[in-house]
Amino acid sequence: MNRFIRVLGIAAPLAGAGLVFILVSGAGDSSRVSAAPASAQDVYLDKCSICHAQDGSGNTAKGRKLKVKNVRSPEVGKLSEAEMIDIVAKGKGKDMDGFEKELGGDMVKQLVTYYRSLAK
Ligand code: HEC
């Protein structure tokens, strides 16, 4: 019995330390997971939000001037993901530039995913 208590006395703090380790490393993991969307978000805020606004509404001085549509509007909702990727890659009209050369096709896709997520 004494021996059992001794074992428990060692095992319990160890289990506690293990739990703390899991919690700490879990927190580390979740910040790593959110790093990828955050970088598309950073690029969006840097390159797109001046016209499309942080929330995708197009409600900025420049956005209103260029008549940028709200990402939640039916017109934008009609566009497929592929059509948007095409617009962001190659540009559309005289005001929306193509970004494929500058940002690469992969980032263009991520940006469209991020932009579409603003509509939800
Ligand atoms: C100088 C202002 C400006 C910037 C910067 C800009 N856009 Fe646009 N964007 C426009 C305008 C204007 C249109 C509408 C073009 C049309 O329909 O003729 C548009 C259209 C779009 C569309 C098609 C759907 C819609 O909302 O009409 C997508 C998707 C889009 N932009 C994404 C982006 C992304 C992603 C970035 C950043 C990499 C970006 N835009 C940067 C002005 C801008």
Overall average pLDDT of the 4-8 stretch: 55
**pLDDT digits over 14-51, tens only?**
454 544 444 444 444 444 444 444 499 999 999 999 99
Is 68 touching ligand 1 by the criterion CB < 6 Å?
Answer: yes
Is 109 touching ligand 1 by the criterion CB < 6 Å?
Answer: no
Taking alpha carbons only, the member of 25, 72, 71 closest to residue 48 is: 71
Cα–Cα distance for residue pair 107/105, rounded to 1 Å: 6
Of 87, 100, 106, 114, which is best to mutate to test ligand 1, by the most ligand atoms within 8 angstroms of its C-beta?
Answer: 87
Cα–Cα distance for residue pair 106/90, rounded to 1 Å: 14
What's the pTM value of the predicted model, to 2 decimals?
0.76
**pLDDT digits over 48-101, tens only?**
999 999 999 999 999 999 999 999 999 999 999 999 999 999 999 999 999 999
Residue whose CA is closest, atom 24 of ligand 1? 76
Cα distances (angstroms) measured from residue 107 to each of 88, 99, 103? 10, 9, 6
